[in-house]
Structure 1
Amino acid sequence: MPALEPAMRHDPRRRLHLQALLSACISPMLMAASADPAPAPPVIPSPFPLQFATMHPTLHLVGDSTMADKAPNPHNPERGWGQLFRPLMRNPAQLLNHAANGRSTKSFRDQGRWQHVLTQLASGDYVLIQFGHNDAKIDDPTRYADARTSYRDNLRRFVFDVRERGATPLLATPIMRRQFDDDGQLHDGHGAYPAVVREVARALDVPLLDLHRLSYLWLVSLGAEESIQRFVWISPGTNTLYPEGRRDNTHFNELGASELAAIAADEMRRLQWPAAAWLRDAVPTRPRLAQKPQGMVMP
């Protein structure tokens, strides 16, 4: 308070009075802080703004770029499946997509985003949690979460936090990447992460949306060539945002995101999740899913 500094220097009584007033205000705050050894981390600014609930009950989506909303940009074809799930809701405002690009279970929590989600929950809400792509980035200590230790612990913590607030947690396995070999066989690169999600879901009796399995069958049904049309593949010289082109086998374009959203919605109905009642009756054309071929080892 620069305007008070000269007065305080010339009037010791005012200085003492101000110091006492500040001490009276700050001491309770310090005591409260000392009683809580784990204050909520600050939210780190990012291109993905925080979402605020305007009604309850609400379906909250929590995850990474494969789920996240993308900022409107006519030159960016990338879409998250959660973004295309919103039009499937009877009331789109009943869906809140907290997912953000590049996040793992670790960074989503460390950056304060999980704490924000918890502030938006009310009894009767549902929280669908899908991570794994970025947890596996072992060279990035800000995101890496070992599948069998910290990733598992983070998922368990998410489940407990949601239940403490009277909401219902839902877990989803990470989505398959488009990784076909020269013989047209699809390979899984997620390691132990999908299995850990399934294990946590079983152990804690959490409903499971097995997007890993469903996306596997979806991509196998499409095959190596046709599946390209669902991902962000851009030819050089055709897009000002990516003048050199882009071949992205992780992120979806609008067609891919909309088909995966329809697959997720159909599975929610099949599982008879209560939140499935919030979906529109009119179901988009369901993408075909391959039947498990004889001898195929499902991931």
Structure 2
Amino acid sequence: MRNFLKYRLLVLFAGIILLSACKQEQALNIFCIGDSTMANKKAEVYPETGWCQVVGDYFDESVTIHNHAVNGRSSKSFIDEGRWQVVLDSLKEGDVLFIQFGHNDQKDYDSTRYTTPRGTYTENLERFVTEARKKGAEPVLFTSIVRRKFGDDGKLIDTHGDYPPATRKVAEKLKVPLIDLQKLTEDWVNGIGDEPSKAMFLWTEPTDRFPNGRQDDTHLQVEGAKNVARLAMEECRRQHLDFSERIVLNN
């Protein structure tokens, strides 16, 4: 009898260890929707880099990033062009959805992209969240990263208006995790300062492709994208989001 009980205990412990190992190795798919500050970039525009292009560097090998963010898209055009439907059709239970719009939603001169913060922008974010949840996926909202625009006082000037507050409202209303990249990147860029922060954004020397160089205060260079991705993942871990145990920050 004693040997039988020992055998049962060994089988039980082995089962627990096996289940734990399987849980750790279970694949996780993270889908990203948003604009050019997140998007994958072509080699010819190097060193321009979207932060979701490198965010996979901050996860273990069980995570796969599916980056559907596209240059120039707003929450409206992403839906109207059928891009959201493609992502929605791919989502399944247990997946994670990163959502960051706002840069192009504020372009009131373009009816194909413009949304109102408390109106169509809010409605679109709520649609992403509710439809993703119906598929069993976990949505995470991100406010837009800052533009590098410094005032005479040496501090960043807000260029996003009511869009980040609207995102925060949606997160509060629908109980969605919120990563406030507007605030995180504002603190980060202010800490670097005006001139030094050019090395994070797309300020580049003249080349054959760009004979005048680039002076771009919206998009990121490789190091800037890595820093933004790290800030985002540090905040995900601080909030103990479900996938945070898969985050690796020693890169």
Please give the TM-score of this superposition, normalised by the length of structure 1: 0.73
Q: 1:216 aligns with which of 180, 183, 186?
A: 186
Tell me if structure 1 keeps the 8 A contact 2:31–2:67. yes
Tell me if structure 1 keeps the 8 A contact 2:27–2:62. no
Displacement of 1:244: 1.5
Deviation per CA, 1:12-54, whole angstroms, max 9, x where unpaired?
xxxxxxxxxxxxxxxxxxxxxxxxxxxxxxxxxxxxxxxxxxx
Alignment partner, residue 187 of structure 1: 157
- Please give the secondary structure, in 1, of the residue aligned with 2:194: helix
Which structure carries more relative contact order (alpha carbon 8 Å, separation 6+)?
2
Amino acid at match of 1:283: N
Displacement of 1:76: 2.4
Alignment partner, residue 131 of structure 1: 101
Q: Provide the C-alpha distance between the structure 2 equivalents of 1:105 and 1:92, rounded to a whole number of angstroms.
A: 29
Q: Provide the C-alpha distance between the structure 1 equivalents of 2:88 and 2:140, rounded to a whole number of angstroms.
A: 14
Gaps of at least 5 residues in structure 2 are: 1-25
Tell me if structure 2 keeps the 8 A contact 1:80–1:251. yes
Write out aligned runs for 1:74-153 (5 A). 76-91=46-61, 94-153=64-123
Which structure has the bigger radius of gyration?
1
Q: Provide the C-alpha distance between the structure 1 equivalents of 2:232 and 2:242, rounded to a whole number of angstroms.
A: 14
Displacement of 1:87: 1.5
Q: Provide the C-alpha distance between the structure 2 equivalents of 1:69 and 1:239, rounded to a whole number of angstroms.
A: 21
Amino acid at match of 2:191: S
Alignment partner, residue 163 of structure 1: 133
Q: Provide the C-alpha distance between the structure 1 equivalents of 2:137 and 2:27, rounded to a whole number of angstroms.
A: 11
Alignment partner, residue 9 of structure 2: none
Displacement of 1:163: 0.7
Q: Provide the C-alpha distance between the structure 2 equivalents of 1:215 and 1:171, rounded to a whole number of angstroms.
A: 15
Deviation per CA, 1:178-216, whole angstroms, max 9, x where unpaired?
010233121101000000000000001001011011001
Q: 2:250 aligns with which of 276, 283, 288?
A: 283
Q: Provide the C-alpha distance between the structure 1 equivalents of 2:91 and 2:145, rounded to a whole number of angstroms.
A: 26
Alignment partner, residue 274 of structure 1: 242
> Is 1:262 matched up with 2:230?
yes
> Is 1:68 matched up with 2:39?
yes
Q: Provide the C-alpha distance between the structure 2 equivalents of 1:56 and 1:155, rounded to a whole number of angstroms.
A: 26
Tell me if structure 2 keeps the 8 A contact 1:136–1:145. yes
Q: Provide the C-alpha distance between the structure 1 equivalents of 2:36 and 2:62, rounded to a whole number of angstroms.
A: 20
Q: Provide the C-alpha distance between the structure 2 equivalents of 1:157 and 1:263, rounded to a whole number of angstroms.
A: 26
Displacement of 1:148: 1.2
Write out aligned runs for 1:217-232 (5 A). 217-232=187-202
Q: Provide the C-alpha distance between the structure 2 equivalents of 1:90 and 1:215, rounded to a whole number of angstroms.
A: 24
Tell me if structure 2 keeps the 8 A contact 1:76–1:241. no
Q: How many pairs align?
A: 226
Displacement of 1:85: 0.7
Alignment partner, residue 23 of structure 2: none
Q: 1:201 aligns with which of 171, 176, 191?
A: 171
Tell me if structure 2 keeps the 8 A contact 1:56–1:122. no
Please give the TM-score of this superposition, normalised by the length of structure 2: 0.87
Q: Provide the C-alpha distance between the structure 2 equivalents of 1:258 and 1:91, rounded to a whole number of angstroms.
A: 18
- Please give the secondary structure, in 2, of the residue aligned with 1:224: coil
Q: Percent identity?
A: 44
